[in-house]
Amino acid sequence: MIIVVGEGMLELSGGADARVPGWALGYGGDTLNSAVHLARLGQRVAFVTALGTDPFSESLRRDWADEGLDLTLARRDPDRRPALYAITTDAQGERSFTYWRSDSAARRMFALRDNDDVLAAAGEADLLYFSMISLAILPREGRDAVFALCARIRERGGRVAFDSNYRAALWESDAVARAVHARAVAVADIGLPTREDEQALTGLDDAVAIDAWWRERGVGEVVVKLGGEGCFADGAVRPVPAKIVPVDTTGAGDAFNAGYLHARLNGGSIADSVTAGHVLAGYVIGRRGGIPAASHDAPYATLA
């Protein structure tokens, strides 16, 4: 089982299928995107988060359950609602985001009740996956709860995967972000950083140097994502196998992470797992939204 920690939000994105002309309502969020892809690939995935009790929250629950996510560890907050974000894209498919998330239910996911059930699940899981955004939205006590999960899963023989997905606006200060980033790297077994994020957090912009920085802190497996250039993994640059003209790059890194982790959990080599990540990311950037509907040409069956 994979435990994924993070926030799922309502998503407004442009597209021909919009209910309101020019816009469609869906859902997304960095770790949620990865969780859905992992479930579509056949993994058992438990999503740790919180939603409200409003109609939008209940709709999200139904949609995520329909995707195969285990929501037994997802809390309900009667006083808060899910966050909302809107995606706008330029002519090259590069996206920008506008967020309404400061009072989202997910910020209290570890404060709504005791977390004995989450700790118990971590003791049985094969992998825990979270990101810098997972940590950014939480207060200090919530961050401590995530690190307690890391300790539990590792002491029981499981592994921790961490994506340093950095959004400066979510953090109290750069200093706090860097300190939390260093703490998360120190408890990770699989690192999934992106060059731009690491440049902001560590000052490094060279993939080899980023790889070394993570490994010096105990991370045994590191994949440095380089956008359209591919990634650096296992001592070499791994280019994207086929260039795709992007429609919307939202969720590309999340899809890559899912494809990579799925292949690694199934015994794939690092090189083959990188290819799986590239294939899934390529599918996503050819469509609008962070989690495109699984169409007939989706690669899930071939990657499973």
Positions marked active-site: 254
DSSP string, 72-86: TT-EE-TT-B--EEE
Encoding tokens for residue 262? 């799925």
**Can you tell me whether residue 95 is helix, strand or coil?**
strand
Q: What is the rounded distance in angstroms from the CA atom of residue 28 to the CA atom of residue 287?
A: 14
Q: Which helix (H) or strand (E) holds 128?
A: strand 127-131
Closest to 30 measured CA to CA, from 77, 97, 120: 97
What are the phi and psi torsion angles at 276 (to 5°)? Answer: -60, -40
Compute the distance between CA of residue 301 and CA of residue 249 in angstroms, rounded to an integer.
22
Residue tagged 């790059």 (tokens): 249
